[in-house]
Amino acid sequence: MKDVYDNPLIARYSSNEMASNFSDDKKFKTWRKLWIALAEAEAELGLNISKEQIEQLIKYKDDINYDVANMREKEVKHDVMAHVYAYGIQAKKAKGIIHLGATSCYVGDNADIIIYNDALDIVLKKIVCVMDNLKKFSLEYKSMPTLGFTHFQPAQLTTVGKRASLWLQDLLLDYEELQAVKDAIKLRGLKGTTGTQASYLELFDGDHNKVKRLEALICEKIGFKDVYSVTGQTYPRKLDTRIINLLSSIAQSAYKFSGDLRLLQNLKEIEEPFAKSQIGSSAMAYKRNPMRSERISALSRFVLSIASSPAITASTQWFERTLDDSANKRLVMPQGFLAVDAILNIYINVTSGLVVYPKMIEKRIMGELPFMATENILMHCVKNGGDRQALHELIRDYSMMAGEQVKVYGKENNLIDLIKKDENFTISDSEIEKTLKPENFIGRSAEQVEEFIYDSIDPILKRHRKLIGYNADMKV
């Protein structure tokens, strides 16, 4: 046991993959990658940087002397300069050209963008896996009637698969937004202290084309398509807002799914997986609490709660830069990703093992179906010469009586029996029974599921087929 606080997002919930992506080791190795790219590009454009110096930088790119860097930071109170110093202790011949012309945001901001982009790749992989699970579930149950709910009150029938397609539709919107965010991400590039590139213009004796080429070269070496054309000292903090809004959107979708599933589990219609040795309650041994869905809800609520923070940060950056973004970014951005990573891990786990109880679903349908069938019965009788208004009033009266039987006395819905006994309804018992088939009330549910998946989901899953099959990393 540790004697200091340990962030539960790392200790209990998120994957090692996402936690490693936001590790100090990943960050500082990315800094060195950026310093190497800078030195290589400057050398290619004619600055006095030798091949031997670059080789030394490459030699130590993954061998960070953290003890030296940490000691130095305590002295100078500046993390970037501490790591420049530590790198120079190792790569002695390159010491004088490390970070040449750069400002702290060259490594800090560009590294953040790289790390966020890598984190989005992890999120993408997991969204695709959830989508694949929900696709299979939707198709399997596309034709199974189930009672629909509006206001959590009984409504027209839908199907189990059609309802699942609504969860899938939410994720489709998230997927599309994720792609839009990834397509729009750019490096900060080399902009200098206030974004003017003055230091680089000085290095290249006023040659604007070389400064532009320098930035393009670094972009190529780091593997990005583009840089922001203009910045202050930092990349636009609205990028953080856009990313966290995407994470919030994913959390909203997962929250909706988890809430629906918690209600369905209470209705005993669909349950999340329940392990053989799992304990539902320390006191009530019989309980099967939906703890995984509840955890999705809890983590999603956390993501929603932090989503406003980057917006406030972006809107309060004075002129070219102010440092009140730093501590906030260090907290909000990694934790937003860690939480969504955990949410998607659980979402994958739950959707890969949903348990459906057809008999309970049918029982609930048959308790409400008589009310829904009365419109068809009414139309049949009117066709046989019945008085529509008089029959409608009888149905209303019998519906009230049947509702009383169910709600007051706890008995079965006897509406159909009352109608069968009334000679005013010119319809045979066999015709009534045909009317009471649930599949008569699901409309185009099955066809909608098939068309939605064929048109909208299958192309995505085909595009990302190598990502499908990820085994969610659930620690507890």
Contact 57, 98 (CB under 8 A): yes
Contact 234, 109 (CB under 8 A): yes
| Cα–Cα distance measured from residue 187 to residue 438, given in angstroms and rounded to the nearest whole number | 56
CA-based end-to-end distance of the chain? 16
Contact 186, 251 (CB under 8 A): no
DSSP-derived secondary structure letter, 410: -
- The helix/strand/coil state of 458 is helix
Phi and psi (nearest 5°) for 147? -70, 125
Q: What is the DSSP string of 53-104?
A: HHHHHHHTTT---HHHHHHHHHHH--HHHHHHHHHHHHSGGGGGGTTTT--H
> CA 301, 304, 308, 310 torsion: positive or negative?
positive
In terms of Cα–Cα distance, which of 28, 189, 200 is closest to 100?
200
DSSP-derived secondary structure letter, 353: S
| Cα–Cα distance measured from residue 38 to residue 406, given in angstroms and rounded to the nearest whole number | 76
| Residues marked as catalytic | 151, 281
77 sits in the region (left: phi over 0; alpha: psi -120 to 50; else beta) called left
User: Quick one: tokens of 29?
Assistant: 């190795």
Phi and psi (nearest 5°) for 280? -80, -30
User: Quick one: tokens of 426?
Assistant: 């010119």
User: Quick one: tokens of 47?
Assistant: 């600055």
In terms of Cα–Cα distance, which of 34, 175, 216 is closest to 110?
34
| Cα–Cα distance measured from residue 28 to residue 268, given in angstroms and rounded to the nearest whole number | 51
E-strand spans in 309-388?
355-356
Contact 339, 303 (CB under 8 A): yes
Helix axes 238-266, 104-140, angle to 10 degrees: 30
Give the HSE-up count for residue 93: Cα atoms under 13 Å, Cβ half-sphere: 13
In the block, which residue shows the tokens 């206030």? 194
